[in-house]
Structure formats: C-alpha cells, structure tokens
Amino acid sequence: MSISATAKPIAQREQTTKIGTVGDFPTAASPRSYLTPDEVDKLMVAARARGRYGHRDATMILLAYRHGLRVSELVALRWDQIDLKLGRIHIHRLKGSESGPHPLSGVVIRALRRVQKEQPGRHVFMTERGAPMTASGFFKMLRRAAESIGMANVHPHLLRHACGYKLVNDGVDTRTIAAYLGHRNLQNTARYTAMSATRFNGLWRD
C-alpha cells in the first residue's frame, strides 16, 4: 500500500521556489526550517524501504506531518487515543500546548490499521522488543532515511513545521492553524504566515 503525505502531487521545485529555498535539498551549511510536502513523501518512501519495520516508520513520519506532532507526542501515542471506526485521534499536546481531537484521513486510518495488525500493543508505535518507540529511535531512523536520499539537516521537529507551512500555503487561516497545532499564542503561528507563498498575492494587478 502506498502512503502519501498529500492527497494530490505537488511539484517540489515549484513549492520550494515560491517559499524561497534554493535547490532540491539544503547542504550541511544551509540549515532548513521546514520540509516541503514532496520532501515528506520522499522521506516516507525512503523509510519504507529500510528494513522490516518500514511501514511503521513511514506511518510515524506521516502522522507527525499530518498532525503537527512533536516527537515526544508521537512516540507517546496510545491506541486508546485513537478511534479508527470514527476516524478520530485525540492529540495530547505537551509543552503547555492545547490538546484536542483531530480527524483522521482515510490514508492515515489504513496505515494505522496495518500498524495495529503487525505490532499490537498499548502504544501505537512499538520496537521489535515490544517497547514503545523512543524519541531518539525516531530521530535516528529519520536521519538515516534522509541521508539515504541525500537530504541534510533533517530532524523530527521539521515535520511539525512542515504541517504549519503546508496549511498556511493552502490558505488556512491563522487561528485555525493555531488551534490545530495547539498554539496558545498566535505569535507562535505567525512564523508560518510570514513564510506563506500566497500572503502577497493580489497586491499588484497588471
């Protein structure tokens, strides 16, 4: 089964050019602040190709991206937070952020059903020894997947930022994005608006 970060393909070069980055992937001397949807797709493909737990790893990347999860929130996910029949997940935010429910897309539901079948347990994402995945374990997996396709400076929090940038570039309003990411202060959401590819559209009409 193919897992996609976006419901429809987005041209990476167009996306990166609009937002202001140059080239396909930053070098070690050029730290990145977010990932494009196309880059997230590439990371999931790379993760899926690495080892017997590739589907679990790709699903972790997908959830972190689609729901703007911090790595600590991702590895702490339990099945009692998720209702696959209703298509809902309760996001338990950390660092003083606001928790709340999110809808699950069909792609995410199907991916989670397979994870549940292959690795049943209290926590959603488990190691081969039956223990919950750790933040360091996810970081190492993500870094190795990124390095395998020539991506530099990739770390888990970029997936949360990628969610914010994707939503603002899709035209979602700031307050909705803030609520979705659990931001109590709108200033935390303003970074995404400042980098929006569409914020100045229509200022000049020729």
Which of the residues are catalytic?
Answer: 70, 95, 157, 160, 183, 192
Contact 84, 166 (CB under 8 A): no
Rounded distance between C-alpha atoms, residue 86 and residue 103, angstroms: 9
Q: How is 68-114 classified by DSSP, letter by letter?
A: T--HHHHHT-BGGGEETTTTEEEE---TTPPPEEEE--HHHHHHHHH
Q: In Å, how far are 2, 27, 115, 171, 194 from 54, measured between CA atoms?
A: 12, 26, 10, 33, 35
- Which residue type does 153 have? N
User: DSSP label at 125?
Assistant: S
Question: Residue 88 phi/psi, 5° resolution?
Answer: -135, 150
HSE-CB for 159 with a 13 A CA cutoff: 30
Nearest-angstrom CA–CA distance, 104 and 161: 19
